[in-house]
């Protein structure tokens, strides 16, 4: 038994990059196809405290075809709600929000990441004790507000709820740092609703530059897409 286990460890180590490309890769059509099948399998396993980083890593592919298989018909906003929020998880969520521009991130990925932040800051002060956010992080969440969509748009609704929660930060304590953050979150939220203002009045213009995700997205083959469509129709 130990010999076999050692053999597997050796096999995995020697072929680590091939395996990683096959489960989280998105650089070629073949990688996208393999990763999509793995994501589909992982969805059937379900998210747990032991594998949630794998779910997040697959989301980071930001590839529609892979993420669709990971999420399925589930609400991406609640994907991580069974996981106890940690500083490391929140830090990574804010890093991803900071990394991507509006329009550059697949909607289901954005909703999943926003869900992490929304869940943690449901009680703003408790969230702050886990990850003391700053003005730039508030701006990087707010930059995804789309004033051409109404407040019931899923992404807008998530962000507006986050801003509303953070606007109550420190309301029971006289802490200047928290008051500044709360006021800024309030201003971002009101900037969406106030027809006399633009988000650029509150959030730096450079953060609001919109990019087109589809221009750089790697697609699977047409044969793969046809097969997956048949598979989905069979299971529906």
Cβ-in-10-Å burial (0-12, 13-18, 19+) of 150 comes to exposed
| Structural domain span for residue 130 | 75-217
Query: What domain count does the chain have?
Result: 2
Residues 70 and 126 in one domain: no
Residues 111 and 225 in one domain: no
Residues 177 and 212 in one domain: yes
Residues 64 and 146 in one domain: no
Q: pLDDT tens across 38-57, in order?
A: 999 999 999 999 999 999 99
Q: Which residue has the tokens 């399998």?
A: 41
Residues 213 and 225 in one domain: no
Asked whether the beta carbons of 84 and 68 are under 8 A apart, the reply is no
Residues 79 and 34 in one domain: no
Residues 203 and 91 in one domain: yes
Residues 232 and 200 in one domain: no
Q: Give the C-alpha separation, 89 to 82, whole Å.
A: 13
Q: Tokens standing for 43? A: 């969805």
Q: Give the C-alpha separation, 59 to 74, whole Å.
A: 14
Residues 125 and 50 in one domain: no
Position 10 scores a pLDDT of: 83
∠ Cα 27 29 33 (to 5°)? 105
Q: Give the C-alpha separation, 82 to 13, whole Å.
A: 31
Asked whether the beta carbons of 39 and 72 are under 8 A apart, the reply is no
Q: pLDDT tens across 192-224, in order?
A: 998 888 899 999 999 999 998 888 899 999 999
pTM (2 d.p.): 0.92
Report, as ranges of residue numbers, the positions in the chain whose pLDDT lies below 50.
1-2
SS3 43: helix
Residues 88 and 163 in one domain: yes
């Amino acid at each position: 038994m130990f010999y076999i286990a050692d053999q597997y460890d050796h096999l995995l180590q020697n072929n680590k990059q091939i395996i990683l490309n096959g489960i989280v890769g998105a650089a070629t059509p073949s990688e996208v196809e393999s990763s999509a099948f793995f994501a589909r399998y992982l969805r059937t396993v379900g998210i747990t405290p032991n594998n949630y980083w794998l779910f997040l890593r697959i989301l980071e592919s930001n590839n529609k075809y892979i993420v669709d298989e990971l999420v399925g018909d589930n609400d991406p906003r609640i994907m991580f709600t069974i996981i106890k929020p940690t500083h490391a998880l929140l830090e990574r969520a804010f890093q991803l929000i900071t990394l991507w521009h509006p329009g550059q991130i697949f909607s289901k990925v954005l909703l999943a990441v926003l869900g992490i932040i929304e869940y943690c800051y449901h009680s703003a002060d408790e969230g702050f004790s886990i990850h003391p956010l700053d003005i730039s992080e508030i701006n990087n969440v707010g930059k995804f507000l789309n004033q051409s969509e109404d407040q019931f748009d899923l992404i807008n609704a998530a962000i507006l709820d986050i801003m509303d929660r953070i606007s109550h930060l420190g309301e029971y304590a006289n802490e200047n740092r928290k008051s500044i953050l709360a006021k800024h979150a309030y201003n971002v939220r009101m900037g969406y609703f106030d027809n006399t203002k633009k988000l650029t009045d509150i959030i730096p213009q450079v953060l609001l530059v919109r990019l087109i995700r589809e221009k750089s997205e790697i697609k699977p083959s047409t044969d793969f897409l046809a097969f997956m469509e048949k598979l989905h129709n069979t299971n529906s």
